Each structure stands twice: as C-alpha cells, then as structure tokens.
Structure 1
Amino acid sequence: MENVTEALFISTLNNERASCFVQDLRTGTDLMRYKGGGSMQSHSLQMLEEHFVIAANSTKPLLHVWPINSQEPMSNVRYVVPGKVNALALSPDSAFLIAGIQETIYVWHLNSGRLLNTLSKHYQPITCIRFTDNGEHFATAGKDGAVLVWNLTRAVAPLGGVDSEENAPFYNFNDHGLAVTDVHIGLGGIRAFMYTVSLDRCCKVYDLSDGTMLLSVVFPVALHSVTVNRMETSVYVGTSEGQILIFSMENVPRMKEYHLEEEESQAFVGHTAGTPITCLALAVNGNQLISGGEDKQVLRCISHLPTISSE
C-alpha cells in the first residue's frame, strides 16, 4: 500500500506569495501554491469533491476555483456574488454552497449555479458557517452573538414566503453577549454536540438533539477559534492573546457555568503574544494540533511540543 500524505490547506490575507497553500503536514514543505485569487477571507476555504479548491476573496464579491493540481484559477469558472463573502461552507455531498454576505445567508445549488434561497435572521455580519457531519443541518454564527441552526431541506426548498416557517431556523441560540468567532459541530448529525466561542470569553456546549445548552466555560480572555478531538474529551480554544487553552470534557463540573482560571488549563504557546489565533485543526491521527494566527504563522504541536513554521 502506498504511503498517504496528509496535507494542510492554508488561506492567507497576505497574498504576496499566493492566495492559499498546501503543505505536507509531516514535513511542512509546500506542495502547491494557488495564485491569482487575491487575499482570501478566513472561514471560506473549502474542498470541492477532492478535485477543486474554492475560496472567497476578502476584498471583492468573488469566489475563485482552482483545480487541485493547478496553481492558476479556472478561467472559465468564476462566481460573482452579491457582496463580499464573510463565511463559506459546502454541504458534505458538495451539492449546495452556503455563503454569508453581511447578515444574509445565501443558498446556491452548486452544479447549476442557481440561487435557491436567502435567509435573513442575523442582525449583524455572519462570521462562520458549519455543517453537521451528515449534511442535513448547518449552523451560522454572527457578530450579533447569535448561533442559528438550519435544516438544509427547508433552506433549499422553502414552501412559503420570506417570513414563512420554512425560512425559520431549527434552533436559535442567543446566549453569547458579543460576536461569535467560531463553531465546531461533533459527530452525530442533529444529535451531535455543538461548541461555540466568542469574544465574550465563553465557550458554550449545546446538545443539538434537544436544543439545550449543557455548559458555558468562561475563560480569562476573548476566544477566536475552537476545535475538539474525535472522542470529544478535549476542547481546544484559540485566544486573543496568542495562546491555545485546553478544557477537558471528562471532568465536567456540575454547575452550568464554570469560570476556568488560567492555571487550571494547559496552554500551548508559540504564536506572537497579543495576536489572535483564528483557526485550529487536529490531524487525522489526533496527535498533532495545527493553529493559524494573525501573526502570519502556522504552528504544529507534536506531543505537546510546539514547533513553528512561518507563513
């Protein structure tokens, strides 16, 4: 059996070298540089059926598409959208594209390019869009502090008008006091746990099976990113101060709101102090934690020892 290389896709607001990169996760060497798309918006880089890369331009109302083995974007495929995309997500089957443009959610059928619906329930710009693993629902988060969970079937085929029940979110969570910066949805479809982080310093855990908030963990500083290991025993959050803090779900306190002191949480350091960590991801084997921040660095933590690869 041939060796399989795990690759890391990186988008950047600094497009001097390229719009986005692909790196060998093991060695950190560049495998591909995608050029010609300008600077890329965060929370907008997506894989399309393992054959294409699609990303939103951070300054123009454009979506760019690259063949996965080509540095140049496809000249005959360029999506012009109604405004600058704040967040982007593809359904797991790559049939539908969901984009947040200011406070409005746009739903497209990807193959035909047909706009199927617009959803306007946020009151400030959308910051993040995430699908459940089975693709039946998706969550949108915004600067208004709201996290809305939508049924995809109703979103793509509304039966009534703009204010009809079909255009209403499945769940409407308004527990954060400031902008929600990231969302992670675990395994299990609508029975999964959902983890949200915000500038209000809180990481909240929801049970999507009944729409209840299970826990709110208050950290010492504002939070910008979140990811969870596959067993959902450890929650990793990226802070505004350049640290990654860890919270264990195996020793969950009995109270619904828990204030986590800095000395209680193991911290990964390596990013420039005072610069937010904007994205987190775990390798397939779960032994490596990858982080990206506004200091233009990508960190790879192996066995709890961070090594830095400058981007």
Structure 2
Amino acid sequence: MEILMFEDSGKMLSEVALSSSSTDTLINLIDFRTGTSYTSFKQNNCFKHALALIPYPGQCDRIGLIISAQLDKSLLHIYSFQKDQVHLKFISPEKIIALAVSNKGAFCAGGTDNGKIYIWEISTGTLCKVFDAHYKKISVIKFTSDDSALISGSEDAGVNVWLLSSLLDDSVDESPSPFYTWSEHSLPITDIWCGIGSFNTARIVTSSLDHTCKLWDLSTGYLLTTFIFPTAITCIIVDPAERMFFGGGSNNLIYQVYLYRRRESSNYNAFGEEMSSVGGAGSIEDISSIDDEKGNLFKGHNSAITALALSYDASLLLAGSKDGTLMIWDISSKQMIKKFSLHKGPITNLFTFLKPPDLISSTSNLSNKIMIQPIQLFQRNTLQRSYKDNFDELHDLQRSKQSLLQFQVDDNSSTLESQISSLQSELLRVHNQYQRVKGLHDEMYQEIVNNFMANRREIENQKKGE
C-alpha cells in the first residue's frame, strides 16, 4: 500500500522511517519503501528510548516535532521538519535517559539515571510532577493508548503502572504510589509495548534481559502469559490487530510469536477450525522450539537486533541492528526486501509515521507557509517550588478559593445580587494577583537562565584563553 493519505491540497503522503544511534550525531529520515533519503537532523546523541515524536494536539497521525534527550548533557533538543538543525534547546533539571510523549501530544515524561520521572505539559512547559519511580535507572517509559496511565520499566527489573490522574493531582503532596507493580521479571527491562484500547481493555507486553516476554492484562494487573526465549529480547513490537508480536534477540534473530492458534472445532461447522488465545492464567509458553521449518524466524542480520517498527498496514517489519543496519522484511514471506546502512553504530530508536507535509526536502515551497508547531520552554521547577518566595500571594489565592466555595444562595434577591457583585470583585482581584505572581515567576526564571548561560560562556572563554 504505497499511498496512505490525501491532503486537502491534493498531495499524496507516504510513510517514512526515522532512526537514531547512540554513537553518531544524526537522526536519519528516509522513505523505507523507495529508499529515498529525505534529511538528516544534526547535533543529536541520545540513549535508547530517549527520542520521541510530538504529534499535533489531538492529531495522533500527524507528527509535528521530534524531541530527544542528549546522552552527555542535561539538554532536550527539539527538531522541526523545516530545518536539519536543532529548532530549540531546553535545559532539563538533570540528565534524562528515557522519554515518552502522550499519544494526544499533551504531556512529555522523562526518566533519569536515579529512578526519577519528570512530567511536563507540552503546551505550557509546566513541570507538573517530579517523583521517585524506581530504585535504579529508568530504561523505558510508555503512555497507554488512551493516555490514562504511564508505564515505566527499570534496571531494577520492575515495571510500574501509574495513573496519570493521580500524578497530576496537585492536592496530593506525598509521593505517588503505583497502581500496579509488576516484579515478575528477574533482570533489567528492555522494552514495553502498550495495546490499543482503554485502560479496562488494553494489554501490555514487557521484555527483559531474563530471556522472557510477559503479557499483562491492564484492567486487572494479572500476568496472562510468559514467553520464554533462547536469548535475551532487546526490543518488541506488536501488530495493530494484536494477533502476533515480534521480539528482537541478542542472537541476531527476530522471533515472530502468535498470540492465537488454530484448533479443530468440535461442532463440525462449515469452517472446520476456530481460533483460541495462546496461554492465559499465568501459563508459560516456550518459544525456544521456534525454527525455520515453522517459518517464524527472520534470519539475515549480522549483529544483535536493537530496534523494531512496523509499517502502517503491518505488512512490513523494520529492524535495526547493532551494526547500524536497517533491514525491511516482508512479514508474509519472511524475505528481506531492502537493506540500508544508516548509522555507524547501534540503531537505538526507530519509528515509522506518515510523511510530514512540511518536510523540507520535498515541500520547500510549502514549508514557508506551514507554521512550525508551537512549543513552550520546559520548566525546571514545579509550580510550588517556583513560588516558594511568594507564599502571601498563594495564601490569598487559597482564601479566595475558600470564599467562593462558601457561597450560599439566598432566597432574598437583593442579598443574591450583593453576593454576585462581591464575587465578581473577588474574581477580578484573584486574576490580578495571579498575573502578578506569574510575572514574578517568569522574571525569576529568566534571570536564573541568563546567569547560568553567562557563567557558562565565561567558563568557556577562560578555557579558550588557557
């Protein structure tokens, strides 16, 4: 399926693949069906799972920006499709090593080396929450498809499920508790996949260096099935219909695992066969018996598999390996149809999505007419910490809130009019106080940033002088 979508302008959009490596400074964007190279974004160096796509708000199928957390600095880089250089740079509170953006483009979550998770609101840049999520380094973060929960995996072998509503609740001061804690893995978590559907219907697949992948029911938190492999699984991808999943192994092989199997019907109906789910109730499925005869292996890579992705129609499997090679596989025939040498080292991040309409190489005339998706500077402090020197103003706001809650409707019309007039005056005062506090915060933050950058330039000039 070459043509995927029509725009109002009549332009036809196809798919693109975006990849990055931890050993070079490029993010490559190609048409993986034709082999056309569109562009390479420069000045990037990020970990596995430290690059994410930011969709336009409410448009999950239209990607507007790319965000990556730098490997050696406390910096977040933002890239647009209208230039190959960094569009914006954000200074993060500490070095981020895992990133995830919600499917609707509302929130960005970042995990750190010491097990903390930061959550920002993308439209405002507000740092909504900082909390300790794991004992060791965060290895991967994912949002569920309905953005109701955040799932984190760590090198402590644990997987935690966090309700986003509780994480964003400002009325709760203490550290949040995970809704589920899954500790059945015995070695570090390598990847997490979240199924399609709401919280009550979705399934989750996790992979680990302990040679297993586990299938979970999100509504109950129960472990459904454990799949045992002959090698460590470094990355996973599930087809959109959730009929099967693919696991990339450290032994250079890709395993295709079916989640349903055919069984003979006992009713002698016209179809003769019916499908039943594999595993369930915590059962164990041994995948070590998969071989070439069953046609469930993809063989051809010369090094360990590091990243997987699927085409829009799930007919093609994209696999990146440790030697920087990207191979395109036809799933039905298990044949490798294209091969690209994109990077000098391991492909750590791999995505497929519809080609952006403002992509510079093919729509240079259009790029000047399409506005770059707006994004605000990510704050380094939470709202409460930013206002710690302005407690009087905050207390006034709280008292105003309490006075509004104490509003009582009186049968006497004159009393009611008086209360309405009083409330209008109170709301106006609260609004003015809020604007004043916000201005103080912005001024304080800008001064801190300016001082930091000035000191940094001074240190760099001293080094150059030496």
TM-score (norm 2): 0.62
The alpha-carbon deviation at position 253 of structure 1 amounts to 4.1
Alpha-carbon distance in 2 for matches of 1:192, 1:119: 25
1:218 to 221, 228, 239: 228
1:308 to 324, 334, 339: 339
Listed as ranges, the matches of 1:112-191 within 5 Å are 112-163=124-175, 167-190=176-199, 191=201
The structure showing larger relative contact order (alpha-carbon pairs under 8 Å, at least 6 residues apart) is 2
Listed as ranges, the matches of 1:200-211 within 5 Å are 200-211=210-221
Quote the residue 1:271 is aligned against: 301
Q: Is the 8 A contact 1:41 1:85 kept in 2?
A: no
Q: Is the 8 A contact 1:116 1:157 kept in 2?
A: no
Alpha-carbon distance in 1 for matches of 2:322, 2:129: 34
Unpaired runs of 5+ residues, structure 2, are 1-5, 57-62, 262-277, 343-466
AA aligned to 2:110 is: A
Change (3 A) 1:83 1:294: farther
Quote the residue 1:21 is aligned against: 28
**Between structures 1 and 2, the one with greater helix share:** 2
2:313 to 282, 285, 309: 285
Asked if 1:44 is matched to 2:50, the reply is yes
Alpha-carbon distance in 1 for matches of 2:71, 2:36: 26
1:158-209 alpha-carbon deviations (Å, 9 max, x no partner): 422233xxx1112111110000100111111212010000000011000101
Alpha-carbon distance in 1 for matches of 2:168, 2:28: 32
Asked if 1:258 is matched to 2:285, the reply is yes
**Between structures 1 and 2, the one with greater strand share:** 1
Which SS does the other structure have where 1:153 is aligned?
helix
Which SS does the other structure have where 2:290 is aligned?
helix
Asked if 1:34 is matched to 2:41, the reply is yes
The alpha-carbon deviation at position 69 of structure 1 amounts to 2.1
AA aligned to 1:297 is: T
The alpha-carbon deviation at position 101 of structure 1 amounts to 0.8
Asked if 1:73 is matched to 2:86, the reply is yes
Which SS does the other structure have where 1:43 is aligned?
strand
Quote the residue 1:299 is aligned against: 327
Alpha-carbon distance in 2 for matches of 1:151, 1:263: 37
Alpha-carbon distance in 1 for matches of 2:155, 2:232: 14
Quote the residue 1:100 is aligned against: 111
Alpha-carbon distance in 2 for matches of 1:91, 1:143: 23
1:11-64 alpha-carbon deviations (Å, 9 max, x no partner): 11232xx42011102112211111123x12221222222222111112211110
Percent of counterpart pairs with the same letter?
28
Asked if 1:63 is matched to 2:63, the reply is no
Structure ID, larger Rg: 2
Alpha-carbon distance in 2 for matches of 1:139, 1:263: 30
Quote the residue 1:88 is aligned against: 99
AA aligned to 1:89 is: A
TM-score (norm 1): 0.92
Q: Is the 8 A contact 1:20 1:40 kept in 2?
A: no
Alpha-carbon distance in 1 for matches of 2:317, 2:82: 26
1:11 to 16, 20, 26: 20
Which SS does the other structure have where 1:263 is aligned?
coil
Q: Is the 8 A contact 2:120 2:126 kept in 1?
A: yes
The alpha-carbon deviation at position 123 of structure 1 amounts to 1.0
- Greater shift after overlay, 43-52 or 204-213? 43-52
AA aligned to 1:24 is: D
Change (3 A) 1:70 1:123: same
AA aligned to 1:207 is: D
Q: Is the 8 A contact 2:75 2:92 kept in 1?
A: yes
AA aligned to 2:223 is: M
The alignment covers a number of residue pairs equal to 301
1:234-262 alpha-carbon deviations (Å, 9 max, x no partner): 11000111211111111214671122224
AA aligned to 2:81 is: I
Runs of 4+ that moved beyond 6 A? none
Quote the residue 2:379 is aligned against: none
Q: Is the 8 A contact 2:224 2:279 kept in 1?
A: no
Change (3 A) 1:261 1:124: same
Q: Is the 8 A contact 1:270 1:308 kept in 2?
A: no
Alpha-carbon distance in 1 for matches of 2:259, 2:13: 32
Asked if 1:228 is matched to 2:238, the reply is yes
The alpha-carbon deviation at position 297 of structure 1 amounts to 1.1
The alpha-carbon deviation at position 135 of structure 1 amounts to 1.0
